[in-house]
Amino acid sequence: MKKYYLGIDLGSTTSKAVIIDEKDRIIGRGITNTRSNYEVAAELAKQAAIFNARFHLLQQRLSGIMESRPEYRRYLDDLKDAFQFLQFRERMQQLGKQFRETLPAVASDTQQLQQMEPLLDKIIGEILAETKSDYLEHSLGGESQFFRDIVAERYNARVADLPKQYFEPLMLLFDKSINPVENEILQFDFRELVDEAMGMINDRYAFLADRPEGDRSLNFDAELNLLMGNYRKVSDSLSEHIDKVAKEAFHIANMVGTGYGRALLPFPEDCIKSEILCHAFGAHAVFPNTRTVLDIGGQDTKAIQVDQYGLVTSFHMNDRCAAGCGRYLGYIADELSISLNELGPLALEARKEVNICSTCTVFAGAELRELLNVGEKREDILAGLHRAIVMRAMSLLARSGGVRNEFTFTGGVARNQAVLRYVSDLVRKNYGQDLTINVHTDSIFMGALGGAMFARRSAEGLTTEQLEKNTASEVH
């Protein structure tokens, strides 16, 4: 039986899970928003990672075909999205139930209650329909993929369009209902869910194939065009592989929890590791020449120095203030009413950087409004804000002993292109143009990866020699 190892990183904003195999290769990753119930957050991240691992195995089995037949790759991508949507739908239905249970508590009287019921059904129906096409057409794109965020955005938009008297009770209804629904663990059967997802996408291909002659809107999509002709064949030939993958038992031989919520994880004490060690270990595994790690997460920034084995020699964290972390960006995005993912691209459009003085997140919000007021452009202010964040990280790096070659940037914020640009510029300017700067697309998973790797090592009791060999090996 194959052995797998699980690392869970319970961060302040997101919870991440990574599953690795016996060679430290990532075979599954899952992410969810951290919620009040940490156990649920950890479980959901783990569930997502296991599903992801099954798809990963499926992809491995199909790698030969996928290279020569692009429609297979497309089919698999569509299948994954439909699979995601079905999980979303299930939770949405739970939310609908919760709405009905909570409704009497927020409606002012029976009459309002009776008026609100059909309104709610309509809203739920519309959200489901909209989200379905967003998932199936891959148009969620830059938006948050978390249930709460997807629903909240669409729900709020619809409630805003209703007559005023419904606004307050409906907003209250959402606030009261979302937490219990979010904190519920829903069990899914992979095989059943995949079958349903296949049915759903097959129907869609059939529908698209039957579209009227004149509709040429999809003609540019070569893969989809290929699929419409032979989706049945593709789906039939996948069935056997899916059977195998669905039956694969994911034996988690050992696991390690990390992140700021680690002490609350339902893990035995020796399976809890500091996030400093995990982030460093993960980053070092992916980029073995790493000597300095900068991790910017939701509410903390860490500057970590590591040795050739990926073991931490010293570290520094922000203490009394979370300005300069992910939450800061979240706050700014809220202030500007745009999504978190739009911030970076917008900042990159700047023609100049407005100087931001505030080191406090809350004051930066006030400063932002003031600057907009005096006519500064949004993108120029954002550029200044991004620079301000990075300046704080630079100071932390300096405190931790500076930057040594190679430098690896991790954490959720590393996905923000503007932050990345300023980090690269300032690190090179201060510590040398020749520095190698590493950023991985999975940068947000480094802590969970490090955790999984510790899990494997502590399970096997490796020696230094092996450790050295392992840390030098590549992680895919």
Contact residues toward another protein (CB under 8 A) are: 260, 273-277, 309, 311-317, 319-320, 399, 401, 463-465, 467
Q: Is 411 left (phi over 0), alpha (psi -120 to 50) or beta?
A: left
Nearer to another protein, 160 or 311 (CB): 311
Query: What's the CA gap between 255 and 50, in Å, rounded?
Result: 13
SS3 8: strand
**Shortest reach from residue 443's CB to another protein, in Å:** 20
- Give the DSSP H or E segment for 408: strand 407-410
Nearer to another protein, 103 or 396 (CB): 396
**Shortest reach from residue 182's CB to another protein, in Å:** 24
**Shortest reach from residue 456's CB to another protein, in Å:** 15
**Shortest reach from residue 17's CB to another protein, in Å:** 21
DSSP track, 305-357: EE-TTS-EEEEEE--S--TTSHHHHHHHHHHHT--HHHHHHHHHT-SS-----
Residue 344, both tokens: 């970076």
Nearer to another protein, 83 or 407 (CB): 407
Nearer to another protein, 59 or 299 (CB): 299
Asked if residues 454 and 310 have their Cβ atoms less than 8 Å apart, the reply is no
Cβ contacts of 169-175, under 8 Å, gap ≥ 24: 169/106, 169/107, 169/108, 169/112, 169/116, 170/106, 170/116, 170/119, 170/120, 172/106, 173/99, 173/102, 173/103, 173/106, 173/120
Nearer to another protein, 131 or 290 (CB): 290
Can you tell me which residue has the tokens 């075979």?
Answer: 27
Nearer to another protein, 250 or 309 (CB): 309
Asked if residues 15 and 447 have their Cβ atoms less than 8 Å apart, the reply is no
**Residues 6+ positions from 272 with CB-CB distance below 8 Å:** 256, 257, 258, 262, 263, 265
Residue 385, both tokens: 């804000």
**Shortest reach from residue 463's CB to another protein, in Å:** 6
Nearer to another protein, 26 or 304 (CB): 304
Nearest C-alpha neighbor of 8 from the set 344, 239, 263, 291: 263
**Shortest reach from residue 457's CB to another protein, in Å:** 10
Around 272, how many Cα atoms within 13 Å sit in the side-chain half-sphere? Answer: 12
Nearer to another protein, 245 or 303 (CB): 303
Asked if residues 468 and 438 have their Cβ atoms less than 8 Å apart, the reply is no
Give φ, ψ of 333 to 5 degrees.
-60, -45
Residue 384, both tokens: 């200044």
Query: What's the CA gap between 115 and 166, in Å, rounded?
Result: 9
**Shortest reach from residue 102's CB to another protein, in Å:** 33
**Shortest reach from residue 315's CB to another protein, in Å:** 6
**Shortest reach from residue 474's CB to another protein, in Å:** 22
Asked if residues 410 and 280 have their Cβ atoms less than 8 Å apart, the reply is no
Nearer to another protein, 30 or 450 (CB): 450
Nearer to another protein, 213 or 319 (CB): 319
**Residues 6+ positions from 440 with CB-CB distance below 8 Å:** 286, 287, 408, 410, 446
**Shortest reach from residue 320's CB to another protein, in Å:** 8
**Shortest reach from residue 234's CB to another protein, in Å:** 49
Nearer to another protein, 65 or 398 (CB): 398
